[in-house]
Amino acid sequence: MVTCNRVLCLCRQAVKLINNGGDWLGKAAGRIGGAFGGYSIECTREGNIFHGRLGGKVSGNDINLEISAEGNHLWGRVGGEVIGKDLNMALEPGRAFGRLGGETIGDDISLEGHEQISGRVGGSIVGFDCNLKFIAAEGRLQGRLGGTFVGADVNLDLVDFPPLVAAVLACVVYKIYLERSRAAKGGR
């Protein structure tokens, strides 16, 4: 069943397509974590370019990513030139794997699935699990990153935005949130 909200989003998307000469547009917007202790995310896809923002205007990060024409490679930067992280992901049908950060200081990301997306960020000891569900009829990606007690809820609205890429972005947002929370507590 398609909701009225989803129909309205699709109508707005069609108008954008017409106004932009046919460039394919998409959007992911929502929140990772609760009203307190989480980050908002808004990311737009224009053709092969993803750009947006996670967090607020003052303490957030820019999102600047690109996907190959074949759709099998996602790369770019989250944050600024000096303080930020590179993202380099290989994409296959139902699978995304790669790295956030550099070779020495960074985290592996491995996600699988189409409607039920699961996987891990980091290693087997230090890291977190991903358990998300894409509800196509509602255009929503929701679920949990981390564990039952220590983790964050994911609630993203997607309009013409690849769910697996949105799941990667959710993991990146949560990882950055964890790092900033640890830094605010003295590094532990």
Q: Which of 91-95, 122-126, 141-145, 166-170 has the lowest mean pLDDT?
A: 122-126
User: Which band of pLDDT confidence, cut at 50, 70 and 90, is reported for residue 16?
Assistant: very low
Residue-wise pLDDT tens digits, 145-155: 987 778 889 99
Residues 83-105, mean pLDDT to the nearest whole number: 91
Contact (CB, 8 A) for 156 and 27:
no
Residue-wise pLDDT tens digits, 69-89: 999 999 999 987 778 899 999
How many structural domains is the chain composed of?
1
Residues 38-48, mean pLDDT to the nearest whole number: 90
Token couple for 176: 């950055």
The predicted pLDDT at position 181 comes to: 74
How confident is the prediction for the chain on average, in pLDDT? 83
First to last CA, the chain: 46
Q: What residues make up the domain containing 179? A: 4-184
Contact (CB, 8 A) for 163 and 141:
yes
Token couple for 62: 């820019």
Distance in angstroms (rounded) separating the CA atoms of residues 47 and 126: 35
